[in-house]
Amino acid sequence: MFLRFEQVSLHFSGVAALSAVDLEIPQGGIFAIIGPNGAGKTTLLNCVSRFYTPQEGRITFLGRDLLAARPYDLASLGIARSFQNVAPFGRMTVEENMLVGLHHTIHSSALSQVLRLPGARAAERQARAQARDVMEQLGILEHSQRYADELPYGVQKRLDVGRALVSRPKLLLLDEPAAGMNEQETAELGEWILGLPAITGVTIVMVEHDMSLVMGISQRVAVLDFGRLIAVGAPQEVASDPAVVEAYLGKED
Amino acid sequence: MFWQTLVDGLAVGSLYAVTAIGLVLIYKTSNVVNFAQGEMAMFSTFIAYQAFTHWAWPYWAAVLAASAFALVLGWAVYWLFLSRLSRAPLLSQIIATLALFLLFRGVAGAIWGNQPFSFPTAVQPTVVRFGPTLILSTQIITFAACLLLMALAYALFRYTRVGLAMQAISQNMFAARLMGVSVGRVYGFSWALSTLLGAVAGMLIAPTLFLSPTFMEGVAIRAFAAAVVGGFASLPGAAVGGLLFGVLESLFGFYISPAFKTTFVSLVIIAVLYVRPGGLFGPRTVKKV
Amino acid sequence: MTNAARPRALAATVALAALVLPWVVARLGPAASYMLNLSVIFAIVAIALNLLTGFSGQISLGHAGFLMLGEYASALLTLKAGFPFWAALPASALLVGAIGFLVGLPAVRLSGNFLAVATMGFGLAVPEVMLNWAGLTHGSAGLMPKSPTIGGFSFGSDVAYYYLALFCLALVWYICATLLRSRTGRALQAVRDSEPAALASGINAAYHKALAFAISAAFAGVAGALYAHYVNFVSPNDFSIQDSFLFLAMIVVGGLGSLPGSLLGAVLLTVVSQLSTSLGQFSIILTGSVMLLAVLFFPGGLISLARRRRPTPRVPAPLAQRSAAGGS
């Protein structure tokens, strides 16, 4: 199995954030995790990213125990992620943001970089060429020397996903990619995300609020409510699941 | 000698505790660590000195005047400077309080000069004996005054309207604002109160340390240490931290080396922060993303 | 002139001016020459601190401590271990860098305010240790390191020492500039902007934070060694916590995250504080006022006036912290 959660439980000072979550995510396509506010969606993502360690259970990626890995090991295992707050490296240029995404693929020591040894320079040149290619594909090459903070919102969003994608990860975690976007921007973003697995071969696991985006582009959907997994299946199946309907309606006043 | 050291440590530790509580009050509400706390206390103490020595006011009148001055000073510092930086990056806020540190030290030096002055005590120092242990009446006054101030600060924070507003802000600024709490006023109040606590500590310790523009530097770093031990967000934690530090430092000074006290304090700060980044009594926070 | 050529021409002009400067300043008398050399030495500290604070996002209120350690390391190595200055200088850098790494270790786990408190404690402890470890340091009597010599030539004159200090400044600048454009430098800045995102990009945040401390401390150590062999006297009173604040003021006034800004701030504040020492307390009053004015009115520093707008964070910092602490 590609990504598997087995009986994953996590509680913060007694309050259960995740309760015995069992979930298998196959390789390929787009998998969405939805649920009402505070259902534990981002928490689940943060367990994969290793910002949180569940008190019980196992998480494996391609058979490998993720809980034994440190947060900064994940990039080289092929797991990348975007964040809810856009363009996290705001005071760096677009090109530098992309190069940060390639950090784990550049193998040179700090000393060899300062001395500008041939090996370090070659690695740097190669990374810059690769970053340039991806910036061109994303249509942000013209901004390459601008600070990320100066860019319009939509471009920042694309930059952040681009930074996560530049090292060609196997698994891409997207945390609410449509947050703060209007309907039209969300539709454009959805179309773009939908195309990614086919072009890059990446598997996307997405946490999202916006139901139209989720229903439109994901192959499978898992629903969390109060830290429990209440449904998994194709978007249409899940949408008509009584437990899901109740979870969502119960939230509305 | 152990008991003697303990008594001396508790007396001075209660001063660290009061100063630390001042730091925590500001941090809890506005998330700012006031690095100028000690210097503002120093300045207020000089006001009392000025009234007592140069204007020949009675001791208690001078102390009251300096306390009133401290309240206004804290309030003014907040409104003039920190309120403008409430949305600025953390670094700007830290630097603003460092700048205030330099300003108060500089202005005090310019007005009163840099030589140490003696400062009066509240009562005539007399000695109370408990077997081989000597307790000074001034130590008792200091300890009692500090306990009283701590209890007052705690009661105020816990039970009064403004205290509840402070709590509300420290938990959720936006909700507090929505509920009609005037955030600026509460911040101004906590700055005023915090400066008052520092000033009282300054006036109580000035007879021992002698008054000079740098005399609160050592007290301030120990107050930071006490606040760190308490997790910087807990009033009782800061109180316990202050007393603990007073005693530990006193024991260290007596049994190991009086010359390396500040080094000892710094090492304890660094060690505590390394083992428990949230402080010994601080909340075990889970890093959230 | 093209856009790319303009900064290069400016840099060349500044470099040329820097080479001619001591001869012009010497005409103003020895006090001016001293101020010039001190500016160069403090510019090294400012760059070191900016690497840590401006580029890596970690505050230090204890850089005067690293400076003092550099002074003592070099003085002791030359006087007691018989090192020539030319070996003592890099050795001091390594030694202070190693201490910086140790001080930086807790930094790995500390956020801004707590780190400030911890480094402030370090800054207060160093002079105390130097004063009281009299067997090694001669306490308040101090040490008297000699001016460096090469062959028969002594760097005892202000002008000669200026070129030595300038060479070190240029080297430190070059190393920082190169580092910041490299993988390691990007990692430092990424950790500054967002630690979680940096971790997710495969950056070992803890290692890079400690590394930033080590490099910054090493450069401050170089400045300390240069200072010691310039004034030929080292004592526990040379630098205090106020000087740590002065160095912070330099980078804030000049511009956080800017190498030219560090230089600008260092020269400006060294001149201000030296000119006003004759006015007693007004030196720190002036420094404090300049710091306060800078954070209130020029948060980007003087350098931001000279170049395109440096972006400020979109989300106000306290707000970001609150929501980060309260999110799900």
Instruction: Write the DSSP assignment of C82-94 as a string of letters.
Output: ---HHHHHHHHHH
Residue to mutate among A50, A103, A165, with most C CBs inside 10 A, is A103
Tell me whether residue B45 is exposed, middle or buried, using C-beta atoms within 10 angstroms of its C-beta: 0 to 12, 13 to 18, 19 or more: buried
CB contacts of B285 in chain C (<8 Å) are 325
Residue A244 near chain C (CB below 8 Å): no
Chains that touch C (3 or more CB pairs under 8 A): A, B
Q: pLDDT above 70 covers what percent of chain A?
A: 97
Closest by Cβ to A113, choosing from C179, C203, C315: C179
Mean pLDDT over B116-144 rounds to 84
CA distance B288 to chain A (A): 8
Q: Above 70 in pLDDT, residue C4?
A: no
Residue C39 to residue C54: CA distance in whole angstroms: 20
H or E stretch covering B136: strand B133-136
With CA atoms as reference, report the closest residue to C63 among C109, C113, C115.
C115
Per-residue pLDDT tens digits for B219-229: 998 998 888 88
Q: Please report, for residues A134, B177, C45, the alpha-carbon distance to residue C226 in angstroms, rounded to integers and kept in the order given.
A: 47, 54, 11
| DSSP secondary structure letters along B154-171 | HHHHHHSHHHHHHHHHHH
CA distance C179 to chain A (A): 5
Residue C129 to residue C122: CA distance in whole angstroms: 10
With CA atoms as reference, report the closest residue to C41 among C192, C203, C213, C219.
C219
CB contacts of B263 in chain C (<8 Å) are 125, 128-129
| A44 → chain C, closest CA residue | C328
The ipTM estimated for the assembled molecules is 0.92
Q: Please report, for residues A8, A10, A68, B229, C101, the alpha-carbon distance to residue A57 in angstroms, rounded to integers and kept in the order given.
A: 4, 9, 12, 34, 37
Q: Above 90 in pLDDT, residue A245?
A: no
A90 vs C311: CB contact, 8 Å cut-off?
yes
| A45 → chain B, closest CA residue | B289
| DSSP secondary structure letters along chain A | --EEEEEEEEEETTEEEEEEEEEEE-SSSEEEEE-STTSSHHHHHHHHTTSS--SEEEEEETTEEGGGS-GGGHHHHTEEE--SSS-S-TTSBHHHHHHHHTGGG----HHHHHTT-HHHHHHHHHHHHHHHHHHHHHT-GGGTTSBGGGS-HHHHHHHHHHHHHTT--SEEEEE-TTTT--HHHHHHHHHHHHHHHHHH--EEEEE-S-HHHHHHH-SEEEEEETTEEEEEE-HHHHHH-HHHHHHHHHH--
Q: Above 70 in pLDDT, residue C326?
A: no
Residue A28 to residue A94: CA distance in whole angstroms: 28
CA distance B87 to chain C (A): 5
Residue A203 dihedral angles phi and psi, to the nearest 5°: -100, 130
Burial letters for A145-155: b for 16+ Cβ neighbours within 10 Å, e otherwise? ebbbbbbeeeb
Report the predicted TM-score, pTM, of the whole model to 2 decimal places.
0.89
Q: How many CB pairs under 8 A join A and B?
A: 10
Residue A178 to residue A193: CA distance in whole angstroms: 11
Closest by Cβ to B105, choosing from C125, C131, C284: C284
CB contacts of C237 in chain B (<8 Å) are none
| C134 → chain B, closest CA residue | B259
Per-residue pLDDT tens digits for B29-59: 888 899 999 999 999 999 999 999 999 999 9
H or E stretch covering B135: strand B133-136
Predicted pLDDT of residue B280? 65
Residue A70 near chain B (CB below 8 Å): no
B90 vs C316: CB contact, 8 Å cut-off?
no
Predicted pLDDT of residue C272? 85
The SS3 of residue C182 is: coil
Predicted pLDDT of residue C299? 81
B277 vs C289: CB contact, 8 Å cut-off?
no
Residue C273 is given by DSSP the state H
CB contacts of A74 in chain C (<8 Å) are 200, 202
A149 vs C311: CB contact, 8 Å cut-off?
yes
Read off the tokens for B2: 């152990």
CB contacts of A44 in chain B (<8 Å) are none
Read off the tokens for A25: 């995510």
- Contact call for residues A206 and A30 (beta carbons, < 8 A): yes
Per-residue pLDDT tens digits for C28-79: 888 899 999 999 999 999 999 999 999 999 999 999 999 999 999 999 999 9
Residue C126 to residue C220: CA distance in whole angstroms: 14
Predicted pLDDT of residue C63? 96
Q: Strand order of the sheet with strand A220-225?
A: A79-81, A171-175, A203-207, A30-34, A220-225, A228-233
Residue A51 near chain B (CB below 8 Å): yes
Residue B277 to residue C108: CA distance in whole angstroms: 10
- Contact call for residues A168 and A200 (beta carbons, < 8 A): yes
| B287 → chain A, closest CA residue | A51
Mean pLDDT over A118-140 rounds to 91
Q: Find where tokens 């152990």 sit.
A: B2
Residue C260 to residue C266: CA distance in whole angstroms: 10
Is residue C3 very low, low, confident or very high in pLDDT (cuts 50, 70, 90)? low
Residue to mutate among B284, B287, B288, B289, with most A CBs inside 10 A, is B289
CB contacts of A106 in chain C (<8 Å) are 183
Mean pLDDT over C166-179 rounds to 96
Give the orientation angle of helix C30-50 with respect to helix C205-231, to 10 degrees: 170
Q: Strand order of the sheet with strand A56-61?
A: A15-25, A3-12, A56-61, A64-65
Residue B259 to residue B172: CA distance in whole angstroms: 44
Residues 189-228 of C with CB under 8 A from B: 196
Residue B73 to residue B196: CA distance in whole angstroms: 9
Q: pLDDT above 90 covers what percent of chain B?
A: 37
Predicted pLDDT of residue C86? 96
- Contact call for residues A133 and A161 (beta carbons, < 8 A): no
Per-residue pLDDT tens digits for B171-215: 776 777 767 777 788 889 999 999 999 999 999 999 989 999 999
| DSSP secondary structure letters along C14-65 | HHHHHHHHHHHHHTT-HHHHHHHHHHHHHHHHHHHHHIIIIIT----S-HHH
